[in-house]
Each structure stands twice: as structure tokens, then as C-alpha cells.
Amino acid sequence: VAARTLQINSMSTEKWAIEGRFVNPSHTPGVLEYIENGLAIVENGKISSFAKTKSEINLLKLEIDASCPTVSLDQEYLIVPGFVDLHVHAPQYAFTGTATDLPLMEWLQNYTFPAERRMEDLEVATRLYNALVKRLLLNGTTSAVLFATIHLESSKVLVDICQKMGFRAFIGKVAMDQHGAENYEEETENSLRSTEDFILYCNQVMSDCHSSKPGLKKLIHPVITPRFIPTCSEELLHGLGELAKKYEEDGVYVQSHISESFDEVAFVKALHPDAAGDVEIFNKHGLLRHRCIMAHGVHLSDEDLHVMRETGSSLACCPLSNAFFAGKDLRLKRCIEEFGVRVGLGTDVAGGYSPSMLSSCRQSVVSAKIIGREETAEEVKATDVDFAFAFWTATLGGARALHLEDAIGSFEIGKEFDACIVSCKEGNFERFESEVILQKDFERFINLGDDRNIIKVYVQGQLVHDVAGAV
């Protein structure tokens, strides 16, 4: 079957409807709503009506015009919200699936910095970033928080590609002025200037895209991106904190890595012997705040987690790369339920080898089972993650981490329609029961599904990926 990733240039204002089986994250963490018969009306990219029973559907059908185009899906399909990937390194897509043999600090020097340095060449960056965004879309990811590189121009290329493909993206030009590599480090002043230039560029692109889509949230957001504490001088961190304050009203985001691994924690201790750790240093410079996504956080103390909650900062849990680098796992469920921290999932391409959020979901389940092995039955209950909890975290959890739970992450009236249509007859998917059970089809998708099952992807109600002729 031919797959195509469409290039979106303009917003269609049409009204259309979609009918079928929905799986919808609820307001309670980890709890999903299974809707056997649902009908959503999408108007100008937003859900304007949502009927969840046969009788509500019949009523709603009386209201909509017979000419309203409707996608009607039988029991071979599921409609689910698109994935929100909170942590992706766009340039590292070049070596995705490899480089799984070194600890973090050596991995940076041997694989990461050389790969990132190549993005200086705009042709190389254009080719790679196009491939990455296509890949994310065909894996059902509708929003992603991306690190680019230290290069301003190729970071702008990533912005343009996301905008062109209709992908919801939070993009950072990386800032780092020490402990990088040869030809892969910036002067402090240049780093601050190009970070500000990048914010202004994104704001320009955003206002263009916003004026063509009034009422919808903007698709492209700039992110202030200190790589991590070891590669940033205090002066740089301070300057980036000032920029976060300056552009707060424009909705600028911040991202970095926090308490990621034993070797990173030791490196920070050597550089900042008087500081308690990453949380104290970021917080001192005003970088822990609303719209701040910190990756990993596996070595955060309970007090640190309180600071994360109080500052409105979020965590990107990257279970796959944590398994390779962190030496520990994040207690995902406790962070959300006990500490009230906003947590979503990230693939961490390419520290995590897979660009699919299904892989992150599965690994978060496996990691929680492994953590639970050494614990009492009571503790297991508090830390266990199942497929439903993982999916909730990968969708609405990510939306909350972005402070966008009013706009994306689930299906509700007023939210934007970011969604995937899942086929239950492709790939590894096989049903042997005579009865069709929605919850089992969904569990099978989380555990066995892949891009073959994801046949259509929508962002803001726009079809952005389509396996031609599938429905």
C-alpha cells in the first residue's frame, strides 16, 4: 500500500465528521474511556460536537447537513489521539538504531557531537529533517519537542519543514558554550544572540501560521535549549533565564536534560561542588518554570520533585534511553500521582533507538515491572504501569506537560483534532476471538502495533499522513 506524507500549505475551513470506535484519555491519570460508537464533528480544526452513544449520534446526525463529509469506520478501526513525543534530538536521527554501546559522556563525544556538527550543511540538514518529520508522522506522532543543533540556520530549516508538513513542533536551537567538542561549541554571547534570533524567527513563522488559522493554537513554538548543565557556563544559563523571562508572554518554552545519569550527576558535582544538583542550578537561573520540559530526571530526589511541581516544570520520561544510560528508571506513576508533576513520554531519538512512541509506551511498562520486582505488593501498586497508563502518559500526559491540555491530548469539545486512525487488520495484528472487543483491540495495538497499523494521521483536523486507499 502506498503511503504518503502530505505537505500542508493552507488550512481548510471545511466542516467534516468522523464516526467509529474511539479510545479517549480521561481526566484521571491512566484511565481511558472506550467509546464503542462515537461521532465527532470537526470544524476549522477543532472538535465542535462529540456524541458518544447511539442515541446521541442519531440526534447529532439530525443537526448536521447531509452534505457534511463523514469518515465512517467499522470495527476494523480505532480512532485515538496522536502521540505527544516530549524528547527528540532531530540531528541524531542520522544514527537512529545504532550507537547503543557507550555510556552517556563517551556516547556524546563519539556519536552525537560529530552527527550534530554535520547539520552545519543545510542540504544535509534538509534531507535528514524531512525524513525525521515524515517518520514521526507515520508513527502517529502529532506533536514533538525537538532539539536541533547549535546552528541557527539549520535550526530554521527544521522550523520550516515542520510548518510545511503541518506538524506540531516545539523546537530549540541548542545552546552550549563549554565541554562540547572541536568545532561544536559556541561563544557565550553568540549563543545568546542566536537563541534570541531563533525565538524571533519562530515567532514570525507562528504569526504567519496563526493568521491563517484563527482560533487554533500555533503549530510551531520556540524552545530555549541549554543542552545540559555541564555544557553551559553560569553566564549562559543566566542569559537564557533572562530570555525566558523576556519572551514569557509570547509563550516561549524551555527544555534541557536534568539528573539524567550517574556520569552526568558526577560531572555536575565536579563543576558545581557547592550546588545540591541540577534542580538548584536551573532554578537559580529561572529556567524551571511553566512550559519547561526537562528530560529524564531519574536521579531527582523527593525534594527536587516538589520543586518541579511548584515551578510548574514538566518531565519527559524516556524509558528506552534511561535503560541504556541512566542506570535507573523514573518512577513514572509516582511522579504523576504522588508528586503531582506533569510527566509525558519521549522517544529520545537517538539515545532511544526507536522513533515510535509505541516503543516508549512498551518500555515504560517493562521498566515499571522491573522496578516493581524488588518492592512490596503495596509499592508495586503505586509504581505499576500498564498499557493504558502508558498510552495516557504518551498523549494527555504529554499535553499536560506542555500546558496544552486545553487544546490537545484527548477528544473533547473545543480541543483540536490531532488523531490517528488505526487499522486492526494490518501488520502483526491478529484477532482469534469470535467476538470483537474494543479494549483488546486497543491493547493489541499498543503491544503489537507499528506504522503499518497507523493509516491516517490528522493535526488540527488536517490530514497530514495518509496510506492511500486504506479507508
Q: Is 465 left (phi over 0), alpha (psi -120 to 50) or beta?
A: beta
Q: Which residue is nearest to Zn ion (CB)?
A: 295
Q: How far is the CB of 86 from Zn ion (least distance, A)?
A: 10
The whole-angstrom separation of Cα 212 and Cα 120 is 32
Residues 6+ apart with CB under 8 A from 463: 6, 456, 457
* Cα torsion angle, 409, 412, 415, 416, sign: positive
Residues 6 or more apart in contact with residue 281 via CB below 8 angstroms: 229, 237, 268, 272, 275
What is the amino acid identity at position 412?
A: E
Give the chain's length: 471
Residues in the interface with Zn ion (CB under 5 A) total 1
Q: Cell numbers of 37, please? A: 460508537
At its nearest, how many Å lie between Zn ion and the CB of residue 229?
Answer: 13
Which one, 119 or 295, has the nearer CB to Zn ion? 295
Beta pairing partners, 80 = 420
Residue 321 CB, shortest distance to Zn ion, in Å, is 7
In the bound complex, what is the minimum distance in angstroms from residue 344's beta carbon to Zn ion? 14
Smallest separation, CB 326 to Zn ion (Å):
11
Amino acid at 422: V
* Cα–Cα distance, 122 to 153 (Å, whole number): 8
Q: How far is the CB of 256 from Zn ion (least distance, A)?
A: 9
Site residues for Zn ion, 400-459, by CB under 5 A, read: none
CB 234 to Zn ion: min, Å: 22
Do residues 293 and 257 touch, judged by C-beta distance below 8 A? no
295 or 326: whose CB is closer to Zn ion?
295
3-state SS class at 210: helix
Least distance between Zn ion and beta carbon 108 (Å): 10
Helix (H, G, I), strand (E, B), or coil: what is residue 355? coil
Looking at the Cβ atoms of 139 and 347, the one nearer to Zn ion is 347
C-beta of 80 vs 343, nearer to Zn ion: 343
DSSP track, 50-94: EE-SHHHHHHHHHHS-TTS-EEE--TTEEEEEPEEEEEEEGGGGG
The residues, any chain, with a CB within 8 Å of residue 218's CB and separated by 6 or more, are 206, 209, 210, 251
Helical H runs in 139-256?
A: 152-165, 188-212, 234-246
The rounded Cα 162 to chain-centroid distance in angstroms is 14
Rounded to a whole number of angstroms, the minimum distance from the CB of residue 352 to Zn ion is 9
Site for Zn ion in 283-302 (CB under 5 A): 295
Return the number of the residue (80 or 232) whose C-beta is nearest Zn ion: 232
Q: Which is nearer to Zn ion, 295 or 422 (CB)?
A: 295
298 versus 446: smaller Cβ distance to Zn ion: 298
Q: Which residue, 82 or 172, has its beta carbon nearer to Zn ion?
A: 172
Report in angstroms how near the CB of residue 428 gets to Zn ion at its nearest.
Answer: 29
Q: How far is the CB of 351 from Zn ion (least distance, A)?
A: 6
Select 295 or 404, whichever has its Cβ closest to Zn ion: 295
Query: Per DSSP, what are the bridge partners of residue 51?
Result: 39
Task: Give the residue among 184, 128, 40, 73 at the shortest CA–CA distance from 350.
Answer: 128
Q: Which is nearer to Zn ion, 324 or 392 (CB)?
A: 324
Long-range pairs, 49-52, Cβ under 8 A, ≥24: 49/413, 50/411, 50/412, 50/413, 52/22
* Beta carbon nearer to Zn ion, 91 or 372: 91
| Amino acid sitting at position 4 | R
Binding residues vs Zn ion (CB under 5 A): 295
